[in-house]
Amino acid sequence: MGRLDGKVAVITGGGRGQGRAHAVTLAAEGADIVICDAPGDIATIEYGMATAEDMQETVRLVEKAGRRCVAVEADVRDTADMARLAERTMDELGRVDALVCNAGVMSAADSTWELTDDQWRDMLDVNVTGVWKVCRAIVPHMIAGKRGGAITITGSTGGLRSVAGCTHYNVAKHGCIALMRTLAWELAPEMIRVNVVHPTGVNTEMSNNEWFAQWIQEHDRLAGPMRGNLMPVDVVQPEDVSKMIAFLVSDDARYVTGTEVRVDAGFMLK
């Protein structure tokens, strides 16, 4: 018996990293899974996105855990793609109980005034507008199901205290909190809960790629304060975040809504 037996979870950015860990963890709790991801590079993002093969690997791992997994190539920035994601979910699995808004990107600049229009636009489009777009597509199906449900949005410690060099990331992640609070108000009567999880650095491609390593090296004054947590770990693992999300979307958290939870090894107390 899992905490999510018989339920269906939709996860954005499920091709790799935290999204993949969420898929496998929620499947182990009994949920069938729908992942979306958007293979293909984004011009202002200096590391690659997940590939179609990455998405298939998530499918394999979910199936190994004994659950179904539908993989949909869909970009959270694209309204039609999000409508198609909702349609595939309902056609193939017939319901949605949990929505995990996880897809995100990272870029940086030497300062707020040196960011380009394109960097700003791509960041806001993926990291906050994309969250709104997937909610807009999926929420009506959650309401129509009349079974309640739960939404989690992946924030960041950058969305709480901001870090130098990525003002657009900070703005987007702060925006996710506003989105969460508004949705929590609107969806409480439907017994649909909405929360944000704020991870510190996580061991995934986003923080563990050649471009970011070099950026950190070249921007010690900006990056220095970002480094290190209160607890003696450099980064947490994707599964550490997944376990919090599994709790939040389960009935164990049935009256938890409108909140933010940090999985940050104490980073915010520094």
Ligand X SMILES: NC(=O)c1ccc[n+]([C@@H]2O[C@H](COP(=O)([O-])OP(=O)(O)OC[C@H]3O[C@@H](n4cnc5c(N)ncnc54)[C@H](O)[C@@H]3O)[C@@H](O)[C@H]2O)c1
Active site residues: 169
Single-letter amino acid code for the residue at 115: L
CB of 192 to ligand X, least distance (A): 21
Residue 30, SS3 per DSSP:
coil
The answer to whether residue 154 forms part of the interface with ligand X (CB under 6 A) is yes
Give CA–CA dist 51/43, Å, rounded. Answer: 16
Residue from 9, 62, 69, 75 in contact with ligand X (CB under 6 A): 75
Q: Which stretch binds ligand X (CB under 6 A): 13-21, 25-33, 109-117, 219-227?
A: 13-21
Least gap, CB of 222 to ligand X (angstroms):
16
Nearer to ligand X, 7 or 77 (CB): 77
Radius of gyration of the CA atoms of the chain, in A: 17
Q: What is the DSSP letter of 156?
A: -
Q: Interface with ligand X by CB under 6 A: which range of 89-97, 99-107, 211-219, 224-232?
A: 99-107
Is 104 near ligand X (CB under 6 A)? yes
Answer whether 172's CB lies under 8 Å from 123's CB: yes
221 Cβ contact partners less than 8 Å away, ≥ 6 residues apart: 164
Identity of the residue, 41 or 251, whose beta carbon is nearer to ligand X in the bound complex: 41
| Closer to ligand X by Cβ: residue 105 or 248 | 105
Contact 151, 103 (CB under 8 A): no
Query: Does the footprint of ligand X cover residue 23 (CB under 6 A)?
Result: no
Query: Residue 150: helix, strand or coil by DSSP?
Result: strand
Spatial contact of 169 and 123, defined as CB atoms under 8 Å apart: yes
- Residue 73: both structure tokens together: 């190539």
Closest CA to 61 of 198, 252, 239: 239
What string marks each residue from 194 to 233 as x (binds ligand X by CB under 6 A) or -? -----x-xx-xxxx--------------------------
Does 37 contact ligand X by CB under 6 A?
yes
Q: Which residues bind ligand X (CB under 6 A)?
A: 12-13, 15-19, 36-38, 49-50, 75-77, 102-105, 126, 130, 154, 156, 199, 201-202, 204-207
